Amino acid sequence: MDPVKDSKPTRRFPAILPHVRHFSRALHPKVLFAWENSVQIRSSNTSWLDGLRGIAALQVYFFHFFGLHTRWGNPYGATPEDVYIHQLPLFRGIWAAGSAAVCIFFVISGFAITIKCLTLLRKGQHLACYESLASSLIRRGFRLYLPVVLVGIPGLLLMRTVNMVEAGTFSFELERKNSTMEQLLDFVHRSDAHISPFNYPEMQEYKDRYPYAPSSWTIPMEYYGSIVSYLTILIVSRIAAFKLRCAVIGFSSLYALHHGCWWASLFLNGMLLAEVTLEQRHRAEMGEKHAAPTSRARHILYQIPFILMFALGFYIGGVPPKVLAFDFSPLPRVGYQWLYNFYPPSWLFEMQEDTRFLWYWSGMFTIIGISQVPWLRRVPESTFCQWLGKLSFSLYLVHPAILAVLKPHTDRLIEGLGAGRGVKCAFDFMVLTPICFIVAAATERWIDQPSVTFARWFEKRITRQEAEKSVELPLGRQLEMEEQAPLVERIWPEEEEGKESSAALLGSSGSSQQRASHDRIS
Protein backbone atom coordinates (compact mmCIF):
# COMPACT_ATOMS: atom_id res chain seq x y z
CA MET A 1 0.00 0.00 0.00
CA ASP A 2 1.15 3.48 -0.77
CA PRO A 3 1.56 5.27 2.56
CA VAL A 4 1.22 8.61 0.85
CA LYS A 5 -2.22 7.75 -0.52
CA ASP A 6 -3.43 6.19 2.73
CA SER A 7 -2.42 9.09 4.99
CA LYS A 8 -5.14 11.58 5.80
CA PRO A 9 -4.62 15.12 4.48
CA THR A 10 -3.57 17.61 7.13
CA ARG A 11 -5.86 20.59 7.61
CA ARG A 12 -3.51 23.50 7.65
CA PHE A 13 -5.94 26.25 6.79
CA PRO A 14 -8.26 25.75 9.81
CA ALA A 15 -5.20 25.95 12.06
CA ILE A 16 -4.25 29.28 10.56
CA LEU A 17 -7.73 30.77 10.76
CA PRO A 18 -7.53 31.81 14.45
CA HIS A 19 -4.35 33.74 13.73
CA VAL A 20 -5.99 35.39 10.73
CA ARG A 21 -8.98 36.38 12.84
CA HIS A 22 -6.69 37.77 15.54
CA PHE A 23 -4.75 39.78 12.95
CA SER A 24 -7.98 41.09 11.40
CA ARG A 25 -9.22 42.21 14.80
CA ALA A 26 -5.96 44.10 15.34
CA LEU A 27 -6.61 45.96 12.08
CA HIS A 28 -10.15 46.94 13.08
CA PRO A 29 -10.54 50.75 13.11
CA LYS A 30 -11.67 50.71 16.74
CA VAL A 31 -8.42 48.97 17.69
CA LEU A 32 -6.18 51.01 15.40
CA PHE A 33 -7.51 54.27 16.79
CA ALA A 34 -7.79 53.02 20.41
CA TRP A 35 -11.53 53.56 20.50
CA GLU A 36 -12.44 50.14 21.89
CA ASN A 37 -13.47 49.68 25.54
CA SER A 38 -12.14 53.04 26.58
CA VAL A 39 -14.47 55.86 25.60
CA GLN A 40 -17.17 56.46 28.17
CA ILE A 41 -19.02 59.69 28.78
CA ARG A 42 -18.56 60.71 32.39
CA SER A 43 -21.43 62.08 34.41
CA SER A 44 -19.13 64.11 36.66
CA ASN A 45 -18.99 67.88 36.69
CA THR A 46 -15.33 67.87 35.60
CA SER A 47 -15.31 65.37 32.72
CA TRP A 48 -15.44 68.26 30.27
CA LEU A 49 -11.85 69.12 31.20
CA ASP A 50 -10.66 65.81 29.79
CA GLY A 51 -12.42 66.51 26.49
CA LEU A 52 -11.14 70.08 26.45
CA ARG A 53 -7.61 68.76 26.78
CA GLY A 54 -8.24 66.61 23.70
CA ILE A 55 -9.55 69.60 21.76
CA ALA A 56 -6.47 71.61 22.76
CA ALA A 57 -4.17 68.80 21.56
CA LEU A 58 -6.04 68.75 18.26
CA GLN A 59 -5.53 72.51 17.97
CA VAL A 60 -1.79 72.04 18.45
CA TYR A 61 -1.80 69.47 15.65
CA PHE A 62 -3.76 71.84 13.39
CA PHE A 63 -1.34 74.64 14.27
CA HIS A 64 1.69 72.62 13.20
CA PHE A 65 0.06 71.05 10.15
CA PHE A 66 -1.58 74.11 8.61
CA GLY A 67 1.38 76.24 9.62
CA LEU A 68 3.38 74.29 7.03
CA HIS A 69 0.91 75.19 4.28
CA THR A 70 0.28 78.86 4.96
CA ARG A 71 1.90 81.90 6.53
CA TRP A 72 0.26 81.56 9.91
CA GLY A 73 1.64 84.93 11.03
CA ASN A 74 -0.49 86.80 8.46
CA PRO A 75 -4.24 87.09 9.08
CA TYR A 76 -6.76 87.98 6.40
CA GLY A 77 -5.81 91.13 4.47
CA ALA A 78 -2.28 91.48 5.83
CA THR A 79 -0.99 91.47 2.22
CA PRO A 80 -2.73 91.45 -1.17
CA GLU A 81 -2.04 87.70 -1.34
CA ASP A 82 -3.59 86.95 2.06
CA VAL A 83 -7.23 86.77 1.03
CA TYR A 84 -8.14 83.21 2.01
CA ILE A 85 -11.18 82.45 4.11
CA HIS A 86 -9.19 80.39 6.61
CA GLN A 87 -7.27 83.53 7.56
CA LEU A 88 -10.36 85.19 9.03
CA PRO A 89 -10.45 85.45 12.86
CA LEU A 90 -13.37 83.01 12.99
CA PHE A 91 -11.17 80.25 11.56
CA ARG A 92 -7.81 81.32 12.97
CA GLY A 93 -9.17 80.50 16.42
CA ILE A 94 -9.35 76.85 15.26
CA TRP A 95 -6.10 76.20 13.42
CA ALA A 96 -3.79 79.02 14.55
CA ALA A 97 -4.42 78.88 18.31
CA GLY A 98 -1.78 76.31 19.22
CA SER A 99 -0.01 78.66 21.62
CA ALA A 100 -3.26 79.45 23.43
CA ALA A 101 -3.99 75.71 23.58
CA VAL A 102 -0.75 75.18 25.51
CA CYS A 103 -2.04 77.66 28.10
CA ILE A 104 -5.23 75.61 28.35
CA PHE A 105 -3.12 72.50 29.00
CA PHE A 106 -1.46 74.12 31.97
CA VAL A 107 -4.70 75.34 33.52
CA ILE A 108 -6.27 71.89 33.21
CA SER A 109 -3.20 70.23 34.73
CA GLY A 110 -3.23 72.65 37.64
CA PHE A 111 -6.89 71.86 38.20
CA ALA A 112 -6.40 68.09 38.01
CA ILE A 113 -3.42 67.72 40.33
CA THR A 114 -4.92 69.88 43.09
CA ILE A 115 -8.66 69.17 43.19
CA LYS A 116 -8.20 65.96 45.17
CA CYS A 117 -6.03 67.61 47.83
CA LEU A 118 -8.36 70.60 48.06
CA THR A 119 -11.28 68.24 48.56
CA LEU A 120 -9.45 66.42 51.35
CA LEU A 121 -8.58 69.71 53.03
CA ARG A 122 -12.22 70.76 52.95
CA LYS A 123 -13.08 67.52 54.73
CA GLY A 124 -10.38 68.06 57.32
CA GLN A 125 -8.34 65.09 56.10
CA HIS A 126 -4.95 66.79 56.38
CA LEU A 127 -2.95 63.62 56.88
CA ALA A 128 -4.54 62.06 53.80
CA CYS A 129 -3.77 65.24 51.85
CA TYR A 130 -0.08 65.13 52.80
CA GLU A 131 0.10 61.47 51.90
CA SER A 132 -1.49 62.20 48.54
CA LEU A 133 1.07 64.97 47.90
CA ALA A 134 3.94 62.62 48.67
CA SER A 135 2.48 60.00 46.34
CA SER A 136 2.04 62.56 43.56
CA LEU A 137 5.59 63.85 43.91
CA ILE A 138 6.96 60.33 43.54
CA ARG A 139 4.97 59.57 40.41
CA ARG A 140 4.92 62.94 38.70
CA GLY A 141 8.42 62.87 37.21
CA PHE A 142 7.99 59.35 35.81
CA ARG A 143 4.58 60.22 34.41
CA LEU A 144 5.82 63.29 32.58
CA TYR A 145 9.30 62.34 31.38
CA LEU A 146 9.22 58.59 30.80
CA PRO A 147 6.90 58.81 27.72
CA VAL A 148 9.01 61.67 26.35
CA VAL A 149 12.26 59.69 26.48
CA LEU A 150 10.61 56.55 25.10
CA VAL A 151 9.14 58.53 22.21
CA GLY A 152 12.55 60.13 21.72
CA ILE A 153 14.14 56.75 20.92
CA PRO A 154 12.28 56.39 17.58
CA GLY A 155 13.11 60.07 17.04
CA LEU A 156 16.78 59.18 17.39
CA LEU A 157 16.46 56.40 14.80
CA LEU A 158 14.61 58.68 12.38
CA MET A 159 17.24 61.36 12.83
CA ARG A 160 19.85 58.95 11.49
CA THR A 161 17.83 57.23 8.75
CA VAL A 162 15.62 59.83 7.05
CA ASN A 163 15.73 63.50 6.18
CA MET A 164 13.66 65.24 8.86
CA VAL A 165 14.86 68.71 7.96
CA GLU A 166 13.04 69.11 4.64
CA ALA A 167 9.59 69.77 6.15
CA GLY A 168 11.00 72.58 8.29
CA THR A 169 10.38 73.79 11.86
CA PHE A 170 10.65 70.32 13.47
CA SER A 171 14.29 69.38 12.86
CA PHE A 172 17.33 71.44 11.99
CA GLU A 173 20.50 70.49 10.17
CA LEU A 174 22.76 71.34 13.10
CA GLU A 175 20.94 68.72 15.22
CA ARG A 176 22.01 65.91 12.90
CA LYS A 177 25.46 64.68 13.94
CA ASN A 178 28.19 63.23 11.75
CA SER A 179 28.04 59.69 13.12
CA THR A 180 25.65 57.39 14.89
CA MET A 181 27.79 57.35 18.03
CA GLU A 182 27.80 61.15 18.18
CA GLN A 183 24.05 61.16 17.68
CA LEU A 184 23.60 58.62 20.49
CA LEU A 185 25.77 60.65 22.86
CA ASP A 186 23.82 63.77 21.94
CA PHE A 187 20.57 61.91 22.68
CA VAL A 188 21.83 60.89 26.13
CA HIS A 189 23.10 64.39 26.90
CA ARG A 190 19.95 66.17 25.74
CA SER A 191 17.67 63.67 27.49
CA ASP A 192 19.54 64.19 30.74
CA ALA A 193 19.38 67.98 30.37
CA HIS A 194 15.68 67.83 29.49
CA ILE A 195 14.56 65.72 32.44
CA SER A 196 16.94 67.05 35.09
CA PRO A 197 14.96 68.61 37.96
CA PHE A 198 17.96 70.80 38.80
CA ASN A 199 17.71 72.90 35.63
CA TYR A 200 15.30 75.79 35.65
CA PRO A 201 13.09 75.74 32.54
CA GLU A 202 13.58 78.49 30.02
CA MET A 203 10.84 80.93 29.16
CA GLN A 204 11.17 80.29 25.43
CA GLU A 205 10.76 76.83 23.97
CA TYR A 206 13.69 77.19 21.58
CA LYS A 207 16.15 77.50 24.47
CA ASP A 208 15.09 74.19 26.00
CA ARG A 209 14.52 72.29 22.78
CA TYR A 210 14.52 68.48 22.78
CA PRO A 211 15.02 67.63 19.09
CA TYR A 212 14.01 63.97 19.44
CA ALA A 213 10.49 65.00 20.54
CA PRO A 214 10.29 68.72 19.68
CA SER A 215 6.85 69.37 21.11
CA SER A 216 8.01 68.30 24.59
CA TRP A 217 9.43 71.76 25.35
CA THR A 218 6.42 72.24 27.62
CA ILE A 219 7.13 69.18 29.77
CA PRO A 220 9.75 70.84 32.04
CA MET A 221 7.24 73.65 32.54
CA GLU A 222 4.62 71.05 33.42
CA TYR A 223 6.92 69.57 36.02
CA TYR A 224 7.88 72.87 37.62
CA GLY A 225 4.28 74.04 37.53
CA SER A 226 3.32 70.86 39.36
CA ILE A 227 5.95 71.48 42.04
CA VAL A 228 4.69 75.04 42.52
CA SER A 229 1.11 73.75 42.85
CA TYR A 230 2.11 71.12 45.42
CA LEU A 231 3.99 73.74 47.44
CA THR A 232 0.99 76.07 47.33
CA ILE A 233 -1.21 73.25 48.61
CA LEU A 234 1.04 73.00 51.66
CA ILE A 235 0.90 76.77 52.16
CA VAL A 236 -2.91 76.96 52.12
CA SER A 237 -3.51 73.65 53.90
CA ARG A 238 -3.99 75.40 57.26
CA ILE A 239 -6.05 78.30 55.92
CA ALA A 240 -9.68 77.59 56.71
CA ALA A 241 -11.28 80.65 55.09
CA PHE A 242 -12.21 80.18 51.44
CA LYS A 243 -11.65 83.82 50.46
CA LEU A 244 -8.26 83.94 52.12
CA ARG A 245 -7.16 80.76 50.33
CA CYS A 246 -8.24 82.24 47.02
CA ALA A 247 -6.39 85.47 47.82
CA VAL A 248 -3.14 83.61 48.55
CA ILE A 249 -3.42 81.52 45.38
CA GLY A 250 -4.38 84.50 43.24
CA PHE A 251 -1.55 86.68 44.56
CA SER A 252 0.95 83.87 43.95
CA SER A 253 -0.31 83.54 40.38
CA LEU A 254 0.07 87.26 39.70
CA TYR A 255 3.53 87.29 41.24
CA ALA A 256 4.61 84.40 39.00
CA LEU A 257 3.22 86.21 35.96
CA HIS A 258 5.04 89.38 37.03
CA HIS A 259 8.34 87.50 36.74
CA GLY A 260 7.43 85.96 33.39
CA CYS A 261 6.68 82.47 34.74
CA TRP A 262 3.44 82.26 32.82
CA TRP A 263 3.33 78.47 33.03
CA ALA A 264 3.45 78.49 36.87
CA SER A 265 0.83 81.23 36.91
CA LEU A 266 -1.48 79.13 34.75
CA PHE A 267 -1.04 76.13 37.04
CA LEU A 268 -2.03 78.27 40.01
CA ASN A 269 -5.00 79.59 38.04
CA GLY A 270 -6.09 75.99 37.51
CA MET A 271 -5.78 75.44 41.25
CA LEU A 272 -7.85 78.55 41.87
CA LEU A 273 -10.49 77.32 39.42
CA ALA A 274 -10.62 73.99 41.27
CA GLU A 275 -11.12 75.80 44.58
CA VAL A 276 -13.93 77.92 43.14
CA THR A 277 -15.55 74.85 41.55
CA LEU A 278 -15.57 73.02 44.88
CA GLU A 279 -17.01 76.08 46.62
CA GLN A 280 -19.76 76.39 44.02
CA ARG A 281 -20.59 72.72 44.42
CA HIS A 282 -20.66 73.06 48.21
CA ARG A 283 -22.95 76.09 48.11
CA ALA A 284 -25.24 74.40 45.63
CA GLU A 285 -25.55 71.37 47.91
CA MET A 286 -26.11 73.50 51.00
CA GLY A 287 -28.65 75.75 49.31
CA GLU A 288 -30.75 73.10 47.58
CA LYS A 289 -33.16 72.77 50.49
CA HIS A 290 -33.64 76.49 51.07
CA ALA A 291 -33.10 78.08 47.66
CA ALA A 292 -36.10 79.45 45.82
CA PRO A 293 -36.71 78.38 42.22
CA THR A 294 -34.56 80.38 39.82
CA SER A 295 -36.09 81.61 36.60
CA ARG A 296 -34.72 80.64 33.21
CA ALA A 297 -34.14 84.29 32.37
CA ARG A 298 -31.91 84.68 35.41
CA HIS A 299 -29.86 81.68 34.32
CA ILE A 300 -29.43 83.19 30.87
CA LEU A 301 -28.38 86.57 32.27
CA TYR A 302 -25.80 84.85 34.47
CA GLN A 303 -24.32 83.00 31.48
CA ILE A 304 -24.08 85.95 29.09
CA PRO A 305 -20.81 87.41 30.53
CA PHE A 306 -19.17 83.99 30.42
CA ILE A 307 -20.33 83.38 26.85
CA LEU A 308 -18.76 86.70 25.86
CA MET A 309 -15.62 85.75 27.77
CA PHE A 310 -15.40 82.47 25.86
CA ALA A 311 -15.91 84.27 22.53
CA LEU A 312 -13.17 86.77 23.42
CA GLY A 313 -10.79 83.97 24.39
CA PHE A 314 -11.50 82.15 21.13
CA TYR A 315 -10.84 85.33 19.15
CA ILE A 316 -7.60 86.21 20.95
CA GLY A 317 -6.35 82.64 20.50
CA GLY A 318 -5.74 83.30 16.81
CA VAL A 319 -3.64 86.43 17.30
CA PRO A 320 -0.24 86.16 15.57
CA PRO A 321 3.00 87.49 17.08
CA LYS A 322 3.54 91.17 16.45
CA VAL A 323 7.02 90.46 15.08
CA LEU A 324 8.17 87.13 13.67
CA ALA A 325 11.83 86.19 13.77
CA PHE A 326 11.78 85.18 10.11
CA ASP A 327 9.69 88.17 8.95
CA PHE A 328 12.01 91.04 8.05
CA SER A 329 9.21 93.47 7.25
CA PRO A 330 6.33 92.89 9.69
CA LEU A 331 3.03 94.16 8.38
CA PRO A 332 -0.02 95.30 10.37
CA ARG A 333 -2.01 92.31 11.54
CA VAL A 334 -5.45 93.20 10.23
CA GLY A 335 -8.20 92.33 12.71
CA TYR A 336 -5.73 91.93 15.57
CA GLN A 337 -3.68 95.11 15.49
CA TRP A 338 -5.68 96.74 18.31
CA LEU A 339 -4.84 93.91 20.69
CA TYR A 340 -1.15 94.81 20.70
CA ASN A 341 -2.03 98.02 22.56
CA PHE A 342 -2.77 95.91 25.64
CA TYR A 343 0.82 94.74 26.05
CA PRO A 344 1.80 95.57 29.64
CA PRO A 345 5.02 97.48 30.35
CA SER A 346 8.06 95.33 31.01
CA TRP A 347 8.36 96.52 34.62
CA LEU A 348 4.89 95.16 35.33
CA PHE A 349 5.10 91.79 33.56
CA GLU A 350 8.49 90.55 32.37
CA MET A 351 7.25 88.63 29.34
CA GLN A 352 10.15 87.78 27.04
CA GLU A 353 7.62 87.03 24.30
CA ASP A 354 5.02 89.80 24.35
CA THR A 355 2.29 87.93 22.50
CA ARG A 356 2.43 85.18 25.14
CA PHE A 357 0.58 87.63 27.39
CA LEU A 358 -2.37 87.64 24.98
CA TRP A 359 -2.32 83.86 24.54
CA TYR A 360 -2.24 83.56 28.34
CA TRP A 361 -5.54 85.41 28.66
CA SER A 362 -6.99 83.59 25.69
CA GLY A 363 -6.56 80.28 27.50
CA MET A 364 -7.94 81.71 30.73
CA PHE A 365 -11.01 83.33 29.14
CA THR A 366 -11.78 80.19 27.16
CA ILE A 367 -11.68 77.79 30.08
CA ILE A 368 -13.49 80.12 32.52
CA GLY A 369 -16.26 80.73 30.00
CA ILE A 370 -16.77 77.03 29.36
CA SER A 371 -16.72 76.21 33.09
CA GLN A 372 -19.79 78.36 33.78
CA VAL A 373 -21.95 77.58 30.74
CA PRO A 374 -23.47 74.07 30.73
CA TRP A 375 -24.27 73.92 27.02
CA LEU A 376 -20.69 74.87 26.14
CA ARG A 377 -19.46 71.92 28.19
CA ARG A 378 -21.51 69.47 26.16
CA VAL A 379 -19.00 69.56 23.30
CA PRO A 380 -15.96 68.45 25.34
CA GLU A 381 -18.17 65.95 27.17
CA SER A 382 -19.03 64.21 23.89
CA THR A 383 -17.70 60.76 23.08
CA PHE A 384 -15.41 62.05 20.34
CA CYS A 385 -13.77 64.65 22.58
CA GLN A 386 -13.37 62.14 25.40
CA TRP A 387 -11.52 59.93 22.91
CA LEU A 388 -9.38 62.90 21.92
CA GLY A 389 -8.61 63.43 25.59
CA LYS A 390 -7.43 59.85 25.88
CA LEU A 391 -4.97 60.26 22.98
CA SER A 392 -4.05 63.90 23.60
CA PHE A 393 -0.68 63.35 25.30
CA SER A 394 0.46 60.80 22.73
CA LEU A 395 -0.78 62.88 19.80
CA TYR A 396 1.01 65.89 21.21
CA LEU A 397 4.32 64.01 21.35
CA VAL A 398 4.34 62.03 18.08
CA HIS A 399 2.80 64.26 15.42
CA PRO A 400 5.86 66.51 14.73
CA ALA A 401 8.04 63.56 13.74
CA ILE A 402 5.33 62.11 11.48
CA LEU A 403 4.84 65.43 9.69
CA ALA A 404 8.60 65.89 9.32
CA VAL A 405 9.10 62.42 7.83
CA LEU A 406 6.04 61.99 5.58
CA LYS A 407 4.97 65.45 4.46
CA PRO A 408 7.81 65.95 1.90
CA HIS A 409 6.86 62.65 0.22
CA THR A 410 3.13 63.46 0.02
CA ASP A 411 3.98 66.90 -1.33
CA ARG A 412 6.10 65.47 -4.12
CA LEU A 413 3.39 62.96 -4.98
CA ILE A 414 0.64 65.55 -5.35
CA GLU A 415 2.90 68.10 -7.06
CA GLY A 416 3.58 65.55 -9.77
CA LEU A 417 -0.13 65.67 -10.61
CA GLY A 418 -0.08 69.45 -11.02
CA ALA A 419 -2.42 70.16 -8.10
CA GLY A 420 -2.78 73.59 -6.54
CA ARG A 421 -1.94 74.67 -3.00
CA GLY A 422 -5.41 74.02 -1.64
CA VAL A 423 -5.60 70.53 -3.13
CA LYS A 424 -2.14 69.73 -1.81
CA CYS A 425 -3.14 70.82 1.70
CA ALA A 426 -6.34 68.74 1.60
CA PHE A 427 -4.46 65.70 0.30
CA ASP A 428 -1.79 65.96 3.00
CA PHE A 429 -4.46 66.33 5.67
CA MET A 430 -6.44 63.27 4.55
CA VAL A 431 -3.31 61.12 4.34
CA LEU A 432 -1.29 62.28 7.35
CA THR A 433 -4.03 62.86 9.93
CA PRO A 434 -5.16 59.19 10.16
CA ILE A 435 -1.52 58.11 10.37
CA CYS A 436 -0.90 60.53 13.24
CA PHE A 437 -3.89 59.20 15.16
CA ILE A 438 -2.96 55.56 14.54
CA VAL A 439 0.58 56.14 15.81
CA ALA A 440 -0.80 58.14 18.74
CA ALA A 441 -3.13 55.25 19.63
CA ALA A 442 -0.24 52.77 19.54
CA THR A 443 1.87 55.12 21.65
CA GLU A 444 -0.94 55.49 24.15
CA ARG A 445 -1.29 51.72 24.45
CA TRP A 446 2.38 50.69 24.53
CA ILE A 447 4.10 53.73 26.07
CA ASP A 448 1.60 55.97 27.85
CA GLN A 449 -0.30 53.29 29.79
CA PRO A 450 2.83 51.34 30.80
CA SER A 451 4.39 54.60 32.05
CA VAL A 452 1.43 55.09 34.39
CA THR A 453 1.68 51.48 35.53
CA PHE A 454 5.42 51.77 36.15
CA ALA A 455 5.01 54.98 38.17
CA ARG A 456 2.41 53.32 40.39
CA TRP A 457 4.54 50.18 40.75
CA PHE A 458 7.60 52.22 41.70
CA GLU A 459 5.67 54.12 44.34
CA LYS A 460 4.26 50.96 45.86
CA ARG A 461 7.69 49.35 45.76
CA ILE A 462 9.50 52.03 47.72
CA THR A 463 6.61 52.53 50.18
CA ARG A 464 5.98 48.81 50.73
CA GLN A 465 6.81 48.84 54.44
CA GLU A 466 4.32 51.55 55.22
CA ALA A 467 1.71 49.83 53.09
CA GLU A 468 2.20 46.57 55.02
CA LYS A 469 1.73 48.35 58.35
CA SER A 470 -1.55 49.97 57.35
CA VAL A 471 -4.59 47.83 57.88
CA GLU A 472 -7.04 50.11 56.19
CA LEU A 473 -6.53 52.41 53.23
CA PRO A 474 -6.78 56.08 54.24
CA LEU A 475 -9.31 58.32 52.63
CA GLY A 476 -6.60 59.86 50.47
CA ARG A 477 -6.06 56.52 48.77
CA GLN A 478 -9.74 55.75 48.52
CA LEU A 479 -10.39 58.97 46.66
CA GLU A 480 -7.20 58.69 44.64
CA MET A 481 -7.31 60.59 41.39
CA GLU A 482 -4.15 60.64 39.33
CA GLU A 483 -2.64 63.91 38.20
CA GLN A 484 -2.14 64.13 34.41
CA ALA A 485 0.46 65.39 32.03
CA PRO A 486 0.09 67.99 29.14
CA LEU A 487 -1.95 66.05 27.32
CA VAL A 488 -4.24 63.20 28.76
CA GLU A 489 -6.16 63.01 31.95
CA ARG A 490 -9.09 61.43 33.75
CA ILE A 491 -10.69 63.65 36.35
CA TRP A 492 -13.04 61.86 38.67
CA PRO A 493 -15.69 63.41 40.93
CA GLU A 494 -15.36 63.01 44.65
CA GLU A 495 -17.79 60.42 45.91
CA GLU A 496 -20.01 61.13 48.88
CA GLU A 497 -18.33 59.88 52.06
CA GLY A 498 -15.83 57.98 49.90
CA LYS A 499 -18.30 55.32 48.71
CA GLU A 500 -17.72 53.64 45.39
CA SER A 501 -14.27 55.24 45.21
CA SER A 502 -12.55 52.04 44.11
CA ALA A 503 -15.16 51.52 41.40
CA ALA A 504 -14.57 55.05 40.17
CA LEU A 505 -10.86 54.34 40.01
CA LEU A 506 -11.11 51.01 38.20
CA GLY A 507 -13.98 51.91 35.90
CA SER A 508 -16.94 49.84 34.85
CA SER A 509 -14.85 47.02 33.36
CA GLY A 510 -12.27 44.93 35.12
CA SER A 511 -9.79 44.73 32.30
CA SER A 512 -6.23 45.74 33.02
CA GLN A 513 -6.16 47.95 29.94
CA GLN A 514 -9.05 50.06 31.23
CA ARG A 515 -7.46 50.33 34.65
CA ALA A 516 -4.33 51.74 33.06
CA SER A 517 -6.35 54.23 31.04
CA HIS A 518 -8.14 55.38 34.18
CA ASP A 519 -4.79 56.14 35.78
CA ARG A 520 -3.84 58.39 32.90
CA ILE A 521 -1.97 61.58 33.75
CA SER A 522 -1.40 64.72 31.75
Q: How many CB atoms lie within 10 A of CB 140?
A: 21
Q: Is the pLDDT of residue 142 over 70?
A: yes
Higher pLDDT, 520 or 114: 114
Q: pLDDT tens for residues 281-332?
A: 888 887 755 555 567 788 889 899 999 999 999 999 999 988 776 665 667 7
Q: How high does pLDDT run on average in the chain?
A: 82
Please report which confidence band the pLDDT of residue 463 belongs to, taking 50, 70 and 90 as the band edges.
confident
Nearest Cα to 230, choosing from 197, 259, 202, 182?
A: 197
Q: Measured between alpha carbons, how far is 294 from 416 in angstroms, rounded to an integer?
A: 64
Give mean pLDDT, residues 106-130. 95
Instruction: Give Cα separations from 352 to 103, 111, 394, 399 (angstroms).
Output: 16, 26, 29, 27
Average pLDDT score over residue span 352-378? 93
Chain-centroid distance of CA 257 in Å reads 21
Instruction: Enter the pTM of the model.
Output: 0.84
Using a pLDDT cut of 90, give the percent of the chain over it. Answer: 54
Quote the CA–CA distance of 518 and 505 in Å, as a whole number: 7
pLDDT at 46 over 90: no
| Dihedral of alpha carbons 100, 103, 109, 115, sign | negative
Our measurement of the distance from residue 107's CA atom to the centroid of its chain's CA atoms, rounded to an integer in Å, reads 10
Could you report the per-residue pLDDT of 60-103, keeping only the tens digit for each? 999 999 988 888 888 888 888 888 888 888 899 999 999 999 99
- CB under 8 Å, gap of 24 or more: what pairs does 461-470 form? 462/138, 463/138
Going from N- to C-terminal start, the domains of the chain cover 45-57+98-282+387-518
Query: DSSP string spanning 371-393?
Result: HT-HHHHTTTTSHHHHHHHHHHH
